[in-house]
Amino acid sequence: MIWAMKIYAERPGALLRQLAADLLVVAWVAVGVWIIDFVRDSASRLGAPGRSMESTGADLGDRFADAGEQARKVPGVGRSLAAPFEAGVDAADAMSRAGQSYQEAIDGGATLLTVLVAVITVLGVLAFWLPPRARWARRATAAARLRADPAGQDLLALRALASRPLRVLRAVGPDPAGGWRRGDPETVAALVALELRAAGLRLRPDAARRP
């Protein structure tokens, strides 16, 4: 038989906690995406002066270059007349480069910030949500398989003895280990119920549908 991995608990309390955790993860990721979009939009707005400076410098450079070409055509004094326009071309080029540098600085800072936000967002999910959820899924899937197998009841009871707190085991009876060793049906059933409850599972898969 092929078993599907357990993704959510069967017991209402555990299920609600998992759903709440999932909603928090979705909200966390949504906030991260919103911050990244905000940074990109802000970078685009902050880069507007740099783009304007670059465009203005390029336009002025073209105009000065055209004027210089016309000045050179004046006989005798063309070179002297063109010199100020050539200086203007250099100044316009410097202005255009300054605009480019400004944009690169804004884009670099925005890229660094977006990468940082993305890393923090992903690490938050991988570090705080995924590991416990994966451990629970493995544990609940194994418990569900044992629950469906009559021979697995004893293993579930043994797991409860090994992993449940002593104060919880005391609620089963004065000597739960002894009862398990003797194969006492009530003790074994109580231990199985403890282990399934800890895994967020019902004693029977169809318990929710029974009257």
Give the model confidence (pLDDT) of 39-58 as tens digits: 999 999 999 999 999 999 99
pLDDT at 76: 75
Half-sphere exposure of 30 (CA within 13 A, CB side): 6
- What's the token pair of residue 12? 């209402």
d(CA 61, CA 90): 8
pLDDT, tens only, 152-177: 888 999 999 998 888 888 888 888 89
Instruction: Decide: 68 and 85 in contact? Cβ < 8 Å.
Output: yes
pTM over 0.85: no
Show me where the domains of the chain are located. Answer: 8-138, 149-203
Half-sphere exposure of 173 (CA within 13 A, CB side): 15
d(CA 156, CA 195): 6
d(CA 20, CA 8): 12
pLDDT, tens only, 86-110: 888 889 899 999 999 999 999 999 9
